[in-house]
Amino acid sequence: WLLDFIRIRSGISLSTDSAYLLDSRLSPMIESLGLHGPEELVSLLRNPRSEVLRVQVLERMTTHETRFFRDLSPFEALGSRILPALARRAGASPLRAWCAACSTGQEPYSVAMVAEESRPSLGKVAVQVVATDISGKVVDRAASGIFSPLEVTKGLSSERLARHFEREGRHWRVRAELRRQVEFHQHNLVMESPPRGGFDVIFCRNVLIYFDRPTREAILERLLGALSPEGFLFLGSTEAPDSGSNRFKRVPDGAGGWCYRRLDAPPLEQAA
């Protein structure tokens, strides 16, 4: 019952041998509620008025592994080629990026840092970053922009730390001007439509691996609908649209990696 509940509500597809994962993530909750086992938890979750508890269970079952500038290639391509080319054709319109399943915020803040550092190539074109995650708790934490000493050592150079962060007690906080470029929202990638408006760049990395094939295809269809005609979609290094898909084409990102575009998207030089 728990496996079906998690799959239906979040799209996360766990196998029947995932008892160890359920136990490790839900046992602390079962204990804190004073329950005697998972059967009592399931009994509570079946109650239609238990939505708060249902959300808590989903948050515990969601993986939030992330780091700044994870798999560096997409960010190098974004700053050196993609944003400057898109800015040349944007006119007065801002460029929009969406980081789906953003976890605690390292990815969207990395995108915002790249945009800020690329400012000489972008002119007056603004870059707006929308970041979403299924966990409201995680979204709130990401919006605060506060990171531990350990978190800022993962993927963040000392130069970027000094430029984009400031000390706050023992922790580090993203500077206010950078935080203002990122808008955080709670969003269920499986059950909800994408945020409004087209996006020039979409990051949805290391997410699809948790879903079964029909769910992956449905999510990719939503991402395609949210992608601008000349936009770029970054997936995880082990993720790709179905081999039979005729909606996407894989293109080199110019920094040693790959990204995806609409099948009819023009070459980057033409997009400029």
| pLDDT tens profile 197-239 | 899 999 999 888 878 888 888 999 999 999 999 999 999 888 8
| pLDDT tens profile 117-138 | 999 999 899 999 999 998 888 9
* pLDDT higher at 89 or 164: 164
Collect contacts of 236-244 with beta carbons under 8 A, ≥24 apart: 236/71, 236/205, 236/206, 236/207, 236/208, 236/209, 237/71, 238/209, 239/205, 239/206, 239/207, 239/208, 239/209, 242/213, 242/216, 242/217
Which of 50, 130, 71 has its CA nearest to residue 97? 130
Which residues are the active-site residues? 25, 133
For the chain, percent helix, then strand, then coil, each to nearest 5? 45, 20, 35
User: What is each CA distance from 138 to 64, 165, 227, in whole angstroms?
Assistant: 8, 20, 25
Residue 15 has pLDDT above 70, yes or no: no
Mean pLDDT of all residues belonging to the chain: 89
Q: pLDDT value at position 271?
A: 53
Query: CA-CA distance, 14 to 2, in Å (whole number)?
Result: 10
One-letter amino acid at 5 equals F
pTM of the shown model:
0.81
Residue 6 has pLDDT above 60, yes or no: yes
| pLDDT tens profile 137-179 | 899 999 999 999 999 999 999 999 999 999 999 999 999 999 9
Which of 117, 28, 97, 101 has its CA nearest to residue 63? 101
Residue 244 has pLDDT above 60, yes or no: no
**Residue corresponding to tokens 């800022």:** 152
| pLDDT tens profile 44-83 | 998 888 888 888 887 777 766 689 999 999 999 999 999 9
Q: pLDDT value at position 92?
A: 76
Read off φ and ψ for residue 184, nearest 5 degrees: -105, 140
